[in-house]
Structure 1
C-alpha cells in the first residue's frame, strides 16, 4: 500500500509495527516482525529519511512512529509536486515533439505500432483519450499487455460520459468467455451489434485517431497502424457507420415476458440469442459452459416448443413472441 510513497515491503511492515505499539528497539522489531537484521536496519533508515519515524533518547536506541496524519500527508504533498513536475515536463516534451514533426517535409498520417504489448497499450490509450465516442469492430486475434491485461472498452470509459459502440464478428464468439464479457459490456452501457463476418478489426477514438491491424488477416495481433486525422480515417469512420447500419443488435439473455404472458427461461433466451448469431452447437456449448449433447437437446426442445422446423425459424418465432434476442426491435 505504501509503495506509492517509495517504501518497500519491509519498510511497510516495520512502520506498521511501530504504529501499532510503543517505541521499539531494533531487537524488539526483529522479534515482532521476523525481518532479518540487515534488512530491518535498511528499512529503518528509509523510514527515518522520509520523516515517518524518529529515534528516542537513551540506550538501546528505540524508534517511534511519528503521527501518521502529518508524516504521510507531507510525503503525499511531495509526491504530488513530483507528479506535477513530470506532467509539466511531459507537456514540454509534447510541444517539442509537435514542433519537430511540423518542421519535417510532411507530417506522417500513420504510425506503425509493433509488439503485442505495444498494440494493447496503444488501444488502451485510444480508449482513454476519447472524449465523446469509442467505435470499434471486435474480432480475433487479441493483443494483451506484458502483465496479461486485456484491452476492454467498457472498463476504460467507466464513469465517463463517452458513448461506446462495438460490432462483433461471429468469430469473436469463439472465446469461451465471450458471451459473458459482451453481456458485462452491455450492462456497463456499451451498444453491441453483430455481423456474420467483419472486414477487419478496428478502434476509432472520436474522429481523432484509429487503430487497425497491419495485416488484413493476422494470426497474431503484434502489429497495427495508428491512423491520424486524414482521408483514411474518414474512410474508416464511414465504413464503420455502414456496417453498423447492417449489423443486428445483440440482446443478452435476461428477464423478459411476451404479450401472451408466456415466459422463456434465461437459458432458452441465451440459446436463442446465440442461435441467431449463427453459432454451431459446439460453440454455444462453450459459451454456456455445458456439454454439446446438452445443447443439442435444448435446441431440439426449443424447436418443438416453438413449432419450428429450423434454427432460423426458431429465431423468427421467438422474436414474434417478444423473447429478448439479437435482431429484435430496439
Structure 2
C-alpha cells in the first residue's frame, strides 16, 4: 500500500512493526518483522531518509516512528508535485511529437499497431489520454494484454471526471456477462445506447486519437489503426455522433418503489429494460441467470398486468405507469 510513497514491502513491514509499540533496537526489529538482518538495516535507513522514523539519542540505538499523519502527508505532497511536473513534461513532449509528425506528412497521421499485446496497450493509452470524453462502439473481440489487463472505460475514467459514451450492438448484449458489465459501467456514470447492429469497433479520445480494428477474428484483435487529428478522425467522430442519435438508450431503472405496492419486482424491472432494447427471451434468460420458462412466464405475466398485446407496447405502458423510467 505504501509503495506510492516509495516503500517496498519489506520497508512497509518494518514501518508497521515500529508503529505498533515502543522504540525498537535493530535486533528487536529483525525478530518482530521476520526480515533478514541486512534487509531490516536497509529498511531503517530508507524509513529515516523518508522522514517516517527517527533514531533516538543514546545507546543502544533505537528507532521510533514520527506522527504518520504529518510524515506521510509531506511525502504525498512531494509526490503530487512530481506528478504535476511529469504531466507538464508529457504535455510538452506530446506537442513536440505532434509537431514532428505533422512535419513528416500525412502518413504520420495514421499508425498501424500490430499484435494483440500492442493493441491492448495502445487502447489503454487512448483511454487514459482522454481529458474530456471517451466515445466508442463496443463490440468483440476485446483486446487483452499478456498480463490479463483489459482495455475498459469505467474503471479508468470514473475517478477523473471524464465523460464516457458507448454504443453496443444488440447481438453484443446476448454474450455471457455483458449486461452485468454494462450495468456496472452505467453505475460508474457511463452513458450507453443500443443499435440493432454495431457496424464496427471504435474508440475515440477527445478529438485527439481514434483506434479502429484492422485485422481481427471473433476471438483475437490482431492489429488496429491509431488515427491522429485529421479529416479521417473527424469522419469517425461524425459517424459516432450519427449512430448515437439513432441508438436507443439502455436504461437502468431508477423509479424506486411505487406507492400502491403494485409495481414490478427488481427482476421484472430488469426484464422490462432488456425487452426495451429488443432482447429475446432466450438472451434475457442467459443474462439474468434465469431459466427460459421462468423468463417466458414473467414476460407473459407482465404483458397481462399491463394489458399489452406486444413487447413494445408493454414498454410504453410500463413507462406510463411509472414502472420503468430513465435516470434524471
Q: Same fold (TM over 0.5)?
A: yes
* 1:298 partnered with 2:298: yes
Provide structure 1 residue ranges, at least 5 long, that are not aligned to the other structure: none
Partner of 1:125: 125
- Offset of residue 199 of structure 1: 0.9
Once residues 164 and 113 of structure 1 are traced to their aligned partners in structure 2, the CA distance between those partners, rounded to angstroms, is 24
* 1:29 partnered with 2:29: yes
- Offset of residue 91 of structure 1: 4.9
Note closer, same or farther for the CA distance 1:317–1:104 as it changes in structure 2 (3 Å cut).
closer
SS where residue 192 of structure 1 aligns? strand
Partner of 1:314: 311
Map 1:1-330; keep pairs closer than 5 Å.
Answer: 1-56=1-56, 59-66=59-66, 68=68, 72=72, 75-76=75-76, 79=79, 82-83=82-83, 86-87=86-87, 89-91=89-91, 93-94=93-94, 96-158=96-158, 162-215=162-215, 218-255=218-255, 263-306=263-306, 313-321=310-318, 322=320
Provide structure 2 residue ranges, at least 5 long, that are not aligned to the other structure: none
Task: Indicate the larger mover: 248-257 or 133-142.
Answer: 248-257
Once residues 245 and 43 of structure 1 are traced to their aligned partners in structure 2, the CA distance between those partners, rounded to angstroms, is 59
Aligned length: 325
- Offset of residue 51 of structure 1: 4.6
SS where residue 112 of structure 2 aligns? strand
Note closer, same or farther for the CA distance 1:97–1:209 as it changes in structure 2 (3 Å cut).
closer
Once residues 80 and 191 of structure 2 are traced to their aligned partners in structure 1, the CA distance between those partners, rounded to angstroms, is 38
Question: What RMSD over aligned residues (CA atoms) do the two structures have, in Å?
Answer: 3.6
Residues 126 and 209, structure 1, Cα contact 8 Å, conserved in 2: yes
Once residues 78 and 256 of structure 2 are traced to their aligned partners in structure 1, the CA distance between those partners, rounded to angstroms, is 55
- Offset of residue 163 of structure 1: 4.0
TM, length-normalised to structure 2: 0.80
TM, length-normalised to structure 1: 0.79
Task: Indicate the larger mover: 69-78 or 133-142.
Answer: 69-78
Note closer, same or farther for the CA distance 1:247–1:53 as it changes in structure 2 (3 Å cut).
closer
- Offset of residue 70 of structure 1: 6.2
Note closer, same or farther for the CA distance 1:246–1:325 as it changes in structure 2 (3 Å cut).
farther
- Offset of residue 57 of structure 1: 5.2
Once residues 264 and 233 of structure 1 are traced to their aligned partners in structure 2, the CA distance between those partners, rounded to angstroms, is 45
Note closer, same or farther for the CA distance 1:194–1:81 as it changes in structure 2 (3 Å cut).
closer
Residues 127 and 153, structure 1, Cα contact 8 Å, conserved in 2: yes
